[in-house]
């Protein structure tokens, strides 16, 4: 990948981030089509260009992030077949996900999603017990399930500065387990749709319940508005988000509507055209704020 000329302010904050420290980040919203996979494609790619080692774990069976990472890898390693011997689910079932990461570049790795991931909730129930939300031991058993997932993530995260989860649009074991093991949760919403409701529900109900009933350690890094079109509805939705979550919790740098983003699934995350370099530069302020928020959180 060619190097994109990022602003000095981005390079500066990147240089202030503590090295050799892993951060696990869950990108979530229980509504679909709000930009989760887009963020999980772009942020780690730019962070990897800045020199950070990044891993993306795709927990969404739609495999949108997975597909575009495969396209990218095939483009960059034309002469080499991308093979993976074991699925993420098989790794989870066998008790280790070490060695499953596929390298796109030296700094950017991913663990692909596959259809067998469907059995993740059933596997956890079989191993640790089946519980219903009304059961008195519900959170106790769920915590055992998610703690198991934590041991698998702990085993791989030390190789990376940032580990990102792409998640399906649901409040399910996928998004709860990924929040449970995360240091930060980044909530995405789209400025023209009712995806703000999904953000409110995820933060207000799903994450609050996890936090109140389990030994979680995540903090909400912020709510990131996506696909901003500079229309009245976009501004209204962002103001609504600020009123609901508090101004400081909403990213002030937002992801604009960028046509090139829609080409990523077909073309991959390449960086050899003017238009792609332009896309990365447009996303750079969001990465800068992301790193600033991490920096401030770690300073506390
Ligand atoms: N900032 C943007 N500019 C232009 N297009 C965008 C932007 N963000 C997302 N899109 C497009 O909107 C669609 C949905 O985005 P994305 O797949 O990232 O959402 P998602 O939250 O991951 O969806 P799902 O919940 O189904 O996984 C995609 O076609 C994507 O290319
Ligand atoms: Mg997605």
Whether residue 38 has its Cβ less than 6 Å from ligand 1:
yes
E strands along 64-149, which residues?
A: 102-103, 108-111
Question: How confident is the prediction for the chain on average, in pLDDT?
Answer: 94
What is the residue extent of each domain of the chain? 8-299
For 296, the token pair is 């401030």
Return the closest-CA partner of residue 44 out of 222, 220, 165, 185.
165
Percent of the chain with pLDDT over 70: 99
Sign of the CA dihedral running 89, 90, 95, 99: negative
Topology given in CATH for the domain delimited by 8-299: Rossmann fold (3.40.50)
Of all protein residues, whose CA lies closest to atom 18 belonging to ligand 1? Answer: 35
Distance CA 105, CA 100 (A): 15
Query: CA angle, 257 as apex, 165 and 271 as ends, to 5°?
Result: 65
Whether residue 36 has its Cβ less than 6 Å from ligand 1:
yes
Whether residue 286 has its Cβ less than 6 Å from ligand 1:
no
Q: Using the mean position of ligand 2's atoms as its centre, give its distance from the Cα of residue 64 in Å.
A: 6
Distance CA 223, CA 26 (A): 12
Whether residue 193 has its Cβ less than 6 Å from ligand 1:
no
The tens digit of pLDDT for each residue in 269-290 reads: 987 777 788 899 999 999 999 9
Whether the CB-CB separation of 195 and 31 falls below 8 Å is answered with yes
For 30, the token pair is 């229980």
Distance CA 181, CA 124 (A): 15
pLDDT at 3 (0 to 100): 62
The tens digit of pLDDT for each residue in 188-205 reads: 999 987 789 999 999 999
For 202, the token pair is 């995820």
Distance CA 19, CA 160 (A): 10
């Amino acid at each position: 990948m060619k190097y994109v000329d990022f602003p000095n302010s981005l390079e500066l904050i990147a240089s202030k981030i503590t090295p050799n420290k892993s951060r696990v980040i869950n990108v979530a919203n229980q509504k679909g089509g709000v930009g989760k996979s887009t963020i999980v494609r772009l942020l780690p790619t730019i962070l990897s260009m800045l020199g950070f080692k990044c891993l993306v774990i795709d927990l969404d069976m739609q495999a949108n992030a997975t597909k575009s990472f495969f396209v990218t890898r095939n483009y960059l390693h034309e002469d080499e077949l991308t093979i993976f011997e074991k699925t993420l689910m098989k790794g989870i079932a066998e008790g280790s996900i070490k060695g499953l990461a596929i390298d796109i570049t030296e700094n950017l790795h991913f663990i692909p999603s596959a259809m067998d991931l469907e059995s993740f909730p059933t596997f956890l129930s079989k191993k640790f017990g089946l519980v219903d939300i009304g059961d008195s031991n519900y959170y106790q058993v769920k915590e055992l399930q998610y703690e198991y997932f934590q041991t698998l993530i702990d085993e791989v995260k030390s190789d990376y500065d940032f580990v990102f989860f792409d998640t399906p649009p649901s409040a399910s074991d996928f998004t709860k387990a990924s929040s449970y093991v995360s240091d930060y949760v980044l909530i995405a919403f789209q400025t023209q749709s009712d995806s703000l409701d999904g953000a409110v529900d995820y933060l207000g109900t799903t994450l609050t319940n996890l936090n109140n009933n389990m030994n979680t350690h995540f903090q909400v890094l912020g709510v990131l508005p996506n696909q901003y079109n500079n229309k009245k509805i976009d501004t209204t939705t962002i103001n609504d988000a600020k009123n609901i979550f508090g101004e400081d919790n909403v990213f002030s740098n937002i992801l604009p509507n960028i046509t090139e983003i829609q080409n990523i699934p077909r073309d991959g995350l390449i960086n050899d055209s003017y238009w792609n370099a332009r896309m990365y530069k447009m996303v750079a302020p969001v990465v800068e704020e992301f790193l600033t928020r991490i920096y401030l959180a770690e300073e506390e």
